[in-house]
Structure 1
Amino acid sequence: MTDNPKTGIFSSRFFFSINHYLLSVIIIGITVIICAPLSNSQSYHVVSFILLFVVSFLATFMRMGSVLLAAALSAIVWNFFFIPPHFTFHIDKVEDILMFGMFFIIALLNGILTTRVRRQKQLAKEREERTSALFLLTKGLSNASGIDAVLNVARDGIENNFSCQSVYFLQNDNKLSLVTSENQPEKELNEDVLQQAQWALNHSVKAGKFTNSFSEADYTFYPLMGTRLNTGVVAIKSGKPLKEDQETIITAFITLISNALEREYLGELAQKARFLDESDKLYKALFNSISHELRIPVATIMGASDTLLTSEHSGKDQSVLFSEIFTASLRLNRLIENLLNMSRLESGRISAHLDWYDINDLVNEVSQDLKDELKPFSFVVSVPDDIPLVRIDYGLMIHVLYNLVFNATQHAPAASEIGLSVSHRSDELIIEVENSGASFSEQDIKNVFKKFFRVEVSRAGGLGLGLSIVKGFVEAHNGKISVNNRKGGGVKFTISIPTSSPQIENAKMMQYD
């Protein structure tokens, strides 16, 4: 949509220079030289037909001026050199006079018809180019995802097809803000430009240069008006006003861009609405879950304590009540610890303080802490006798193993086997915790380490924080954790932790220095 035939979809008209007039003269001259042997014969009418054919041929690719020049030159030369008497402009015969006039009539008719055909061809080409430009813009906008991508497609479409500069202003809280572009000097975008763009948006009309509003401006402002939203303004800087057909096509461009931006705006609003709705649901679910998880142990402690205080019981009954209070206290403490640990992980205050430890001490402590939970199961521990000391944060790894084994007790069927194995290979400590029972779906495996995620088949309570904390503590050791389904049913968690840390080795070298 530029007047430059090399850059836009609207090519400029092809104007012949003086060279094309000379070309017509040369062609007629060559024709006359070729026909010179016929000048002494009585067949001078043959020469007129040949010259008339040449004029008709020139009309197929030359414009009217060149064709009329060729026709006039042909008539004069034919009269002067070929019509008896030679070398005069005198014509005696009526048929020669008619033939003389036919040069101009046929040249004029051929020129008009050829010009019309050429014009129709040009219009068809321009329509095809307009359709192609609209198709490419529509395709680009439909494939664009996000407002920035839409603006990039729009900027390329307008600037490439109209040979102009485009600047975009988007509306935010009923105010326009400039969308910066690398090709746009910021010094040109002063406050006046913003005010002019705001006026065009408020009045929903084109304004600026080549219009009745702000005609002294450097830009022409087109409001981006969708079906439901006015998203902003595109400012176009061009050296001359657009032609009528160019104005039509740029209006179509503006409509497509407006609809694409409106689509992205509405999509963002819908996404924000979904996010708020999901956040509200998550807040309610989390609040209800925390309330429920806190209420159970608190109710147990209060009930058992009230029973102990208000009535006399035998030593056996008191022991049962004290056991219930202790168990509820452990559950409450575990819940609070998980919440605190998750808070520490999210704040980035978790770091591993490594030291040398015997992995057997770690396994034995976890087994002792969970002895009551493990009573209904067959707990199988496998630790090689020759396993070396490992550098770990003992406190963090206690939480890791405790959560994994406790998680297994909550998902494994009664009387089934729960396994804990430790091995050392390739400078890595490998810990595996596995249990039989239900397997995880592919979606569960992807989400199992996310906060507040709970497997649907789980019968256990909790907030869904344990495995997320496990992952954070393992990664604090520069380690990795994964989960896979067992062939016979159930799941297996695998932890791999490097037995030496580059940071620790560097620290030791500094101490020795």
Structure 2
Amino acid sequence: MKSIIKYKKPKSQYLISILSVVIVSLLCLFVRDIVEYKVVGYLLLVVVSLLAIFLEIKPVLVGAVLSALALNFLFIKPYYTLHIDSAEDTFLLMMFFIIALINAVLTNKFRRMQRAIHIIETRASTMKLYNSLLDSLSHELRTPIAAILGSIDTLQQKNVHLSIETQEKLHNEIEKASMKLNYQVENLLNMSRLESGYIQPKLDWCDVKEIIYNVCNRLTEETKDHKINYLIDDNLPLFKLDYGLMEQIIYNLVYNCAQHTPKGANITIKAQYEVDADYDNHIDLIKKCIIMITDDGYGFPDGEIDRAFDKFYRFKSAKTGGTGLGLSIVKGFVQAQNGTISLKNAENGGAIFTIEFNVDCLPINSLENE
């Protein structure tokens, strides 16, 4: 309710304030003969207090004045007149009016103070977050840049004779560092696209098997100390997905497994096609593309696994660098294609990422027949 009223226009706030007082007054009017006007005054004070929590100060003051007039006009004898016979009733009405105004002003000031504290805390949290990001980036970007500059500097030295083997090694170092640098820059650009809501999937028929093999070929250097196992259905159909987004999803997940598992660990990529019946929604068949990427490494800390997809989050026990963007980008790209992603630890150690898409599919054999 708070979030809805907060963004109401000023005119709407005045209307809400007036209607609230009028409705409560009319309801109390039905029981005027059995309830003292002092009780009605308490109820109207409660209404003013609630309005002060959600509305700006001017509409609340209007509500306070209107509640005092309603109390006098409808509930203090003589009825339907602003005249008051009793001095005690006059004093009580004045006190009601003063208390209502003070209550409205103090509640409004307290709410503004809460907003200011929240803004300060949010800014402090944001600054801490971005400082953490900058620290990570300074390390993640400086390392490949230093490798590139060092290799180029060595290659440019004219007074040093380099063997062909050494030159090739330096070229490989430059290529490897450039790929790592490109990966970090792509992650930053992708996160910027997600934050701005710019992601608009371009759905087309995709060969998931081809995407998986292409990505793993690009990650040959990162996975050279790991064993990649492929469990892909032979008759896997084409799925209507975004080719570029799917590449980045698979890339980030495999890269994450390679970076956070020991040498010699197994990375298994499984892709399959399933058809389920949905009787609840009267849909005969639901066609699913399911991709699972697992490893037999250390897995995720039990107390932190729920934050694995949070932006900029890095696990406390993480020994390797990273910006904490890779998995959050994966989740964003999966959701952009109306898919779901889940993460759990395997019983024998390691992590299991499961991605599911309810998508149109096109069997390969139907293409061959065409």
Under a length normalisation based on structure 2, what TM-score does the superposition of the two structures give? Answer: 0.71
Matches within 5 A, 1:33-182: 133=42, 150-152=49-51, 170=57, 177-179=58-60
Matches within 5 A, 1:26-425: 133=42, 150-152=49-51, 170=57, 177-179=58-60, 236-237=68-69, 238=72, 239-240=82-83, 242-248=89-95, 251-252=98-99, 255-310=102-157, 311-425=160-274
- Computed over aligned residues only, the root mean square deviation of the Cα atoms, in angstroms, reads 3.5
CA distance in 2, matches of 1:249, 1:297: 71
Check 1:169–1:328 CA distance in 2 against 1; reply closer, same or farther (3 A cut). Answer: closer
Of residues 487, 494, 512, the one that matches 2:354 is: 494
Residue type at the aligned position of 2:113 = L
Deviations along 1:236-259, whole A, 9 cap, x unmatched?
Answer: 434346522444455555555554
Post-superposition offset of 1:361: 1.3
Identity %: 33
Contact kept, 8 Å, 1:471 with 1:481, in 2: the verdict is yes
Residue type at the aligned position of 2:345 = N
Contact kept, 8 Å, 2:187 with 2:326, in 1: the verdict is yes
Residue type at the aligned position of 2:117 = A
Secondary structure of 1:382's match? Answer: strand
Check 1:7–1:257 CA distance in 2 against 1; reply closer, same or farther (3 A cut). Answer: farther
Contact kept, 8 Å, 1:410 with 1:459, in 2: the verdict is no
CA distance in 2, matches of 1:454, 1:330: 22
Check 1:169–1:287 CA distance in 2 against 1; reply closer, same or farther (3 A cut). Answer: closer
Secondary structure of 2:127's match? Answer: helix
Check 1:312–1:391 CA distance in 2 against 1; reply closer, same or farther (3 A cut). Answer: same
Post-superposition offset of 1:376: 1.4
In the other structure, the counterpart of 1:439 is 299
Secondary structure of 2:304's match? Answer: helix
Check 1:373–1:150 CA distance in 2 against 1; reply closer, same or farther (3 A cut). Answer: farther
CA distance in 2, matches of 1:240, 1:287: 70
Post-superposition offset of 1:469: 1.6
In the other structure, the counterpart of 1:481 is 341
Post-superposition offset of 1:154: 8.2
Contact kept, 8 Å, 2:53 with 2:108, in 1: the verdict is no
Contact kept, 8 Å, 1:432 with 1:494, in 2: the verdict is yes
Q: Higher mean Cα deviation, 438-447 or 458-467?
A: 438-447
Deviations along 1:42-64, whole A, 9 cap, x unmatched?
Answer: xxxxxxxxxxxxxxxxxxxxxxx
Of residues 322, 333, 352, the one that matches 1:462 is: 322
Contact kept, 8 Å, 2:230 with 2:268, in 1: the verdict is yes
CA distance in 2, matches of 1:154, 1:410: 50
In the other structure, the counterpart of 1:50 is none
Secondary structure of 2:290's match? Answer: strand
CA distance in 2, matches of 1:440, 1:6: 65
- How many pairs were matched up? 306
Post-superposition offset of 1:276: 1.4
Check 1:258–1:295 CA distance in 2 against 1; reply closer, same or farther (3 A cut). Answer: same
Under a length normalisation based on structure 1, what TM-score does the superposition of the two structures give? Answer: 0.53
Check 1:169–1:472 CA distance in 2 against 1; reply closer, same or farther (3 A cut). Answer: closer
Contact kept, 8 Å, 2:299 with 2:346, in 1: the verdict is yes
CA distance in 2, matches of 1:169, 1:428: 50
Secondary structure of 1:434's match? Answer: strand
CA distance in 2, matches of 1:339, 1:301: 20
Contact kept, 8 Å, 1:423 with 1:430, in 2: the verdict is yes
Greater radius of gyration (CA) = 1
Residue type at the aligned position of 1:439 = G
Residue type at the aligned position of 1:494 = T
Secondary structure of 2:222's match? Answer: helix
Q: Unpaired segments of 5 or more residues in structure 2?
A: 1-24, 73-81, 276-286, 363-370
Check 1:363–1:312 CA distance in 2 against 1; reply closer, same or farther (3 A cut). Answer: same
Post-superposition offset of 1:387: 1.9
CA distance in 2, matches of 1:292, 1:406: 18
In the other structure, the counterpart of 1:54 is none
Post-superposition offset of 1:5: 4.7
CA distance in 2, matches of 1:402, 1:450: 18
Post-superposition offset of 1:343: 2.0
Q: Higher mean Cα deviation, 455-464 or 252-261?
A: 252-261
CA distance in 2, matches of 1:351, 1:268: 35
Post-superposition offset of 1:283: 2.8
